[in-house]
Every structure is written in C-alpha cells, then in structure tokens.
Chains A and B, each alone.
Chain A
Amino acid sequence: MLAQTVIPDFGGGGACVTQNRTFCWDWFSAHWGDTFQPALLQHLALTGIAVGIGFAIAFSCALVAHRRAWFERPFSGVSGLLYTIPSIALFQLLVPVPGFGLTWVTAEVALVSYTLLIIFRNVLTGLREVPVEAREAATGMGFTPRQTLWRVEVPLALPAIVAGVRVATVTVISLATVAAYIIDAGLGAPIFHAQQTTFKTEFIAAGVLAVALALVADGLLVALQRGLTPWARRRAA
C-alpha cells in the first residue's frame, strides 16, 4: 500500500531528489499527506492498542499477585522471558503460528508482551509501597478489602502505575517501528521502504518522526503523571 505512494521518483523529481541529497524538504512536504501522516496515525494506533491491552492484562495480574504472592514469580518469569527476546526475533517467531501470519494481530501480540513486565512490576511495587498505616486506617474505618484496594491502595500507587504506563508506552513506540517489517504500517514502513531505494530524505523523515513521537509521548506522560498525582511531586527526584 505504502510502496506505491512513496517510491521516490529519482528521474522526475527536483534536483534534490534526483541527486538524493541529505534531506529534501519539498519531497517531504509533498508526501506528508500520503505517506507520513498515515504512518504516524498507524503508529499511534499500534501503540494505543498494545498499551491498552497490556495494561488490562498486567494490571489485573498485579492485583492477583498483590493478594496471592505466589503468583508473582511465574508471571514475572514468563513476562521477563518475553521481554528479553529481541523484537525482530519475536515478530518473526509469531508469524508462522497458525492464525497469526503477517497481520496486526501478530504485531499487537508481540507489542503487548513487551508491556507486561513493565506494567506488572510497577503496579505491584506501587501497591506494596502503600504505607501500612494507610491500610490500617482504612480497615479501622470499616473499609472492606475491596474498598481498601480501590479507595486507598490504588490511588496511593498511582505514581508508580502511571510511571509504568509511561515506560511501556515509550517502549512500544520504539518497538512498533520494527513491527513494520511484518505489517507494513507505522513509521517503520517508510524506513524499510527507504532501505530498498536508499532514499535519504525518507530515512531521515521517518527516523526523526519516530524519535520525535517517542520524546513527545514521554513528555506528555510525565505531565500526566504530575497532573494525576500532585502529592507525589515532592518525592519525584
């Protein structure tokens, strides 16, 4: 799909394109609409879906592990194993699995698996660092365990939880560039495409957009973290 739209026209373009100079702004702005903007939006979708699903799984599992401590080791073990596998290898390992293939499902399963360890560990650490006094006070006020969890423990763990989401998001943005190798979507797609043509403008445009997206997302999530947990500002180093 992208391949048809982004093949640089080495013959008919301006001098900058035909000579493959470092960066041709004209080419970039001419192809923003048909190449880079869609790639950026696909990248956001890939990331959003992966972090959303990853959060749902890891958060629930962290709650289980908070109540039943034995659950921590198997979950950390498996998610740690997945986390260690290099992304390009994991994508390629999932492709031959029946029902996966070169689809978004494959990409998302791999991306989700990288979020699990990060979010799980942060949520669990956050819940465990809740001061005993706060828990006892909640019990003393007659809170049920469920009320204690949702009204005391989770709110107090928010800084750690949001920090985990932040790290997971930035990680997924980074790894989603690699996903383009199997699904031809996201900001990695122009990179792999430029690899075929060695067109410098496309290399730089896609690379810089991916870096910028990661940095902006990181900055926004820091802001969210501060906004959601004003009481934690003193602690944050």
Chain B
Amino acid sequence: MGTFFDAFRFMVDHLGLLGNGALRTFVLSAAAMGVSMAVALPLGLWLGHLHRGSLVAINLSNVGRALPSLAVISINLALLGLGFLNVMVALVIVAIPSLLTNAYVAVDGVDREAVAAARGMGMRPWQVFSRVEFPLAVPLLFAGARTASIYVVGTATLASIAGGGGLGDIIFNQASYGLPGVVAAAIWVAAMALAVDLGLGAVQRLLTPRGLRAEPDAPVVGPPAAGTSGASPAGERLEPAATAVAR
C-alpha cells in the first residue's frame, strides 16, 4: 500500500507533468471525438430518418465492439508507423461504431405516431427531422457519444505506444517514472474517464426533452442489456450498442 502513498506524493511533486499529460490526452480525445462525430452523426441520422440501412448501422457496432483497440493500434503500427495518423485512425475506429449505431437507432426509433402527427400538421421532411425526430433522438444520441468518449479516453491512453503522448507515456514508462509515477498516472486516467462520463451524463440529462424524462435515476453508463427487445419507450430504452473495445 506504500506505493499508493508514494503515488500521491508523486502527484504533488509532478503536478505539471501530470497536468500536461492529462491535457494532451484530453485534447487528443476531443479531437478524435470531433472527427468521429463529423463522420458518424450525419450518416447515422440520415439513415435513421430514412429507416434504411439498419443491417449496416446496427451490425457495425457489433463488429466495432469486437475490435480490440490495442490490436488495431498494432496493425496500424506496421502499416502507418508511429505518429499522429496512426493514433487518430485508431481512435476514430473506436468511436464511430457506437456513435453511428446510436444515431441510427435514436432517429429510427422515434415514435412513428409523433412523426405521422408532424406530417399531418403539414411539416416538410426537413422540419419533421429538425423539430420532431432530432429532439426526441437527443438522449440516445448523447448516450452513444458518452460511451464513445469513454472508449476514446481509454484508447488514447493506450495509443501512447504509437506516439500519442499524454498520460499513457507515463503509464508505459515505469523505467523513468517508477511504479508510483505509473500508479499516479493511472489514477489520473481513471479520474479523467469518470469525470468525462459524469460530465456528459449531466449534459445528457439537461438535453433530454422534458417529456422523455421518465426515469428519475438515469441508467448507469455502460453497456445495455443487449439482445432484449427494444419495446420500451424512447426515454428508457437502453443503449443498443455496447461497444466495449479495449480501453
């Protein structure tokens, strides 16, 4: 247990080092989330709006969940070498499945009667999407972003073996920082993942339309009960994609 004591002393002594590492990991993760969302959300929302391509949209997350991210980084190391491109490709591959699948399921699963009512009121397809489907899809959409960002933070840590930098550099370099340094960085990574999760969870609750706030205590983050039917109303539906990639 002395190691943990030393780890806290390391944190005090090397606050700048850990802070810089955390910042770098965070910026890298945020950039990867930005790229992934720019790719996955429009596609997922559009397919969901059309109720098309469910096979691809849903199976992608199954395949994505099965991809060990360390293996992806490893293969990239041979094909792309060390560096930013490798890291970014790995992070985007980790993030896209749960984003795309949740975006699809979120819009696809919007109550058809609400959509029919909107059409009956004379809304155009774009208005139906922007005023009805999208707001109702927000909670699930956000759940996907939350899941994805936790995996991205974990993978960004792993990605330091491919030159990603950040807190992973400390975790993977016991020779320089000693076990207390490694443990200190591990504590920071864990705290960062939990903070991202809690922060996004809070935003998710704020963004949820009032009518959908059925359950007082929102489900804990993590994977859904996969394989169960999605018959429950939109607000309490579990995430469809447990994209548990090596984090």
Binding site for B on A (CB under 8 A): 22-23, 73, 76-77, 79-81, 83-90, 92-93, 95-98, 114, 117-118, 121-122, 124-126, 129, 159-160, 162-164, 166-167, 170-171, 173-175, 177-178, 181, 187-188, 191-192, 194-195, 198, 200-201, 203-204, 206-208, 210-211, 214-215, 217-218, 225, 235-237
Known: A77-B220, A92-B186. A225 touches B227 (CB 8 A): yes
Complex Cα distance A166/B1, Å?
Answer: 36
Whether B225 lies near A160 (C-beta < 8 A) is yes
Give the number of residue pairs across the A-B interface with Cβ within 8 Å: 211
Q: Hey, which chain B residues are within 8 Å of A121, CB to CB? A: 222-225
Complex Cα distance A214/B62, Å?
Answer: 11
Name the contact of A92 in the complex, choosing from B73, B79, B171, B194 (C-beta under 8 A): B171
Q: Which of B110-118, B120-128, B150-158, B202-210 is the interface stretch?
A: B150-158
Minimum CB–CB distance for B113 against chain A, Å: 20
Known: A84-B194, A195-B77, A207-B75. A162 touches B186 (CB 8 A): no
> Does B58 sit at the interface, judged by CB under 8 A?
yes
Minimum CB–CB distance for B185 against chain A, Å: 8
B72, B75, B197, most chain A CB atoms within 10 A: B75
> Does B221 sit at the interface, judged by CB under 8 A?
yes
Whether B220 lies near A117 (C-beta < 8 A) is yes
Whether A96 lies near B228 (C-beta < 8 A) is no
Whether A159 lies near B227 (C-beta < 8 A) is yes
Whether A93 lies near B190 (C-beta < 8 A) is yes
Q: In residues 178-230 of chain B, which contact A (Cβ within 8 Å)?
A: 179, 182-183, 185-187, 189-190, 193-194, 197, 217, 220-230
Q: Hey, which chain B residues are within 8 Å of A118, CB to CB? A: 222-223, 242, 244
Known: A195-B161, A215-B63, A215-B66. A177 touches B71 (CB 8 A): yes
Whether B168 lies near A88 (C-beta < 8 A) is yes
A-B contacts, 8 of them at CB < 8 A, read A85-B194, A86-B189, A93-B190, A121-B225, A129-B229, A170-B65, A195-B77, A237-B58
